[in-house]
Amino acid sequence: MTTTPQPTRTSPYQSYVYAYPHKTAYRRLPDRPRLSALWAAEPKNALSLYLHIPFCEVRCGFCNLFTRIGAPDGLTGAYLDALERQATAVRQALGETDEVRFATAAFGGGTPTFLTAPELERLCDLAERRMGADLSAVPLSVEASPATATADRLAVLADRGATRLSLGVQSFVDSEARAAVRPQRRADVEAALARVRDARIPVLNIDLIYGIDGQTEDTWRHSLDAALAWRPEELYLYPLYVRPLTGLDRRRPGRPDPAWDEQRLRLYRAGRDHLLAHGYTQQSMRMFRRADAPPQGADDYACQTDGMIGLGCGARSYTAGLHYSFDYAVDMHEIRTIIDDYVSRPAADFAHAEYGRRIDADEARRRHLLQSLLQAEGLRLDDYRARFGSTPADDFGAELERFADRGWLTDGDPTTLTLTPEGLAHSDAIGPELFSPAVRAAMTAYERK
């Protein structure tokens, strides 16, 4: 087992590890493996389905997700046509058997509610009729922006079984929203929240960001209280990042900034303590759930488990041995080219995986450790041993010793490996330290576009 060299930077904000390996470690797969072969031996009775809609009304300054601004006439329809061709090809590759069952579904992006209400109906039809997902019976999570969370779209989503609506608010202070390059007015955000509650989707999630220029503990608490007034079942608190090629990168290029790190840590702690004092429990560094919220089944649908089918040109799919997707970019021109290429593809193209990364036994262990350790409930040692026949200490002794030396691991519980509150606060430093040397090298060599 190779150990990971310690990075030289010590910032708590190195990167958000929501999926491992990151797409910048994917490469073109020269053999273009057939999906039918990739999925032949995989368990298919509890898959996750993810549909990616790569359109937004604006490009937020902090965002490096795969999405474009607006859609020229006809593009969303052409995109749904392509999604339908892809869904048909993928479902054929999975096999037309009863064994295929989806346990969760999610529409993400981008902004899925960029689509009109009839287009959202079509998206749901596609998930149900082409893929065989029963949206009325499984958790269905949908992301939305305030401006696109209109009553007609929300009615479609509620009617088709959406159980969770996640609204990207970021800040209730108009000047902070502008500073994060997500211009929106608080009055419009409040109106959107009222529409979401009227639609009676069981779980409302609100995303907020800390570390924005000009944000203080007072304004941060003001945003938290404005969110709490809606009693959201979930809240995600995100530290602001300046990522390469994003809008903020052009205004404030990312570079080490200890004062900013300190501001973000201070706001993180203030936000965490505020939510804990208001009846929320902490699920991870970013995620808080209202203690009396209805259970939702699988958390963190985005990329947390094996057995995921992603449809759309920004979506990833996971088998146990391969993670794959389409080409990836952040630059708007490149994204447009990739989307145009996606919508022009014939059905036969969708029967193959084109970009991806193989997951060997070492990467599977790292992935399991990352996924579990960064959750507040930690890693169950018996699960790890049952899966790999070893302990995390056997496989990652040097890394875990470093984390323990920094006070980031609890001790005393022989059944779980759990982060301390300070460890959770440093999740974005812990994650990257667990990347394999090969993934780290591939991410470094990736040519950003």
Q: Interface with ligand SF4 by CB under 6 A: which residues? A: 56, 59-60, 63, 65, 67, 109-111, 145, 168
How many whole angstroms separate alpha carbon 142 and alpha carbon 113? 8
Instruction: Retrieve residue 49's tokens.
Output: 């389905």
CB of 149 to ligand SF4, least distance (A): 11
CB of 134 to ligand SF4, least distance (A): 27
CB of 261 to ligand SF4, least distance (A): 22
Concatenating the DSSP letter of every residue in 65-116 gives SS-EE---TTHHHHHHHHHHHHHHHHHHHH-SSTT--EEEEEEEES-GGGS-
CB of 69 to ligand SF4, least distance (A): 8
CB of 143 to ligand SF4, least distance (A): 7
Residue 113 or 418: the one with the smaller Cβ distance to ligand SF4 is 113
Q: Using an 8 Å Cβ cutoff, are 63 and 121 in contact? A: no
Name the nearest CA neighbour of 253 among 24, 447, 61, 66. Answer: 61
Residue 63 or 228: the one with the smaller Cβ distance to ligand SF4 is 63
CB of 68 to ligand SF4, least distance (A): 9
Instruction: Retrieve residue 283's tokens.
Output: 């699920």
CB of 247 to ligand SF4, least distance (A): 9
Residue 59 or 289: the one with the smaller Cβ distance to ligand SF4 is 59
CB of 98 to ligand SF4, least distance (A): 36
Q: For the CA atoms of 393, 395, 396, 398, what is the dihedral angle to 10 degrees?
A: 80
CB of 269 to ligand SF4, least distance (A): 24
Residue 60 or 248: the one with the smaller Cβ distance to ligand SF4 is 60
Question: Across the strands, what pairs with 203?
Answer: 164
How many whole angstroms separate alpha carbon 242 and alpha carbon 80? 32
Residue 168 or 239: the one with the smaller Cβ distance to ligand SF4 is 168
Name the nearest CA neighbour of 142 among 119, 180, 168. Answer: 168
Helix (H, G, I), strand (E, B) or coil at 306: coil
Residue 236 or 324: the one with the smaller Cβ distance to ligand SF4 is 236
- The residue written with tokens 């488990």 in the block is 305
CB of 111 to ligand SF4, least distance (A): 5
Residue 80 or 330: the one with the smaller Cβ distance to ligand SF4 is 330
Name the nearest CA neighbour of 367 among 6, 9, 8, 25. Answer: 25
Concatenating the DSSP letter of every residue in 241-285 gives ---TTSHHHHHS-----HHHHHHHHHHHHHHHHHHHHTTEEESBS
Residue 143 or 395: the one with the smaller Cβ distance to ligand SF4 is 143
Q: Using an 8 Å Cβ cutoff, are 235 and 208 in contact? A: yes
Residue 168 or 378: the one with the smaller Cβ distance to ligand SF4 is 168
Residue 327 or 363: the one with the smaller Cβ distance to ligand SF4 is 327
Q: Using an 8 Å Cβ cutoff, are 209 and 264 in contact? A: no
Parallel, antiparallel or unpaired: strands 27-28 and 355-358: antiparallel
How many whole angstroms separate alpha carbon 317 and alpha carbon 335? 19
CB of 56 to ligand SF4, least distance (A): 3
Concatenating the DSSP letter of every residue in 325-337 gives ES----SHHHHHH
Residue 52 or 366: the one with the smaller Cβ distance to ligand SF4 is 52
Residue ranges of alpha helices (H) inside 170-246 are 174-179, 186-199, 217-228
Residue 65 or 156: the one with the smaller Cβ distance to ligand SF4 is 65
**In the complex, residue closest to ligand SF4 by CB:** 63
3-state helix, strand, coil in the chain (%, to 5): 40, 15, 40
CB of 85 to ligand SF4, least distance (A): 24
Concatenating the DSSP letter of every residue in 341-365 gives HHHT--GGGGGB--EEEE--HHHHH
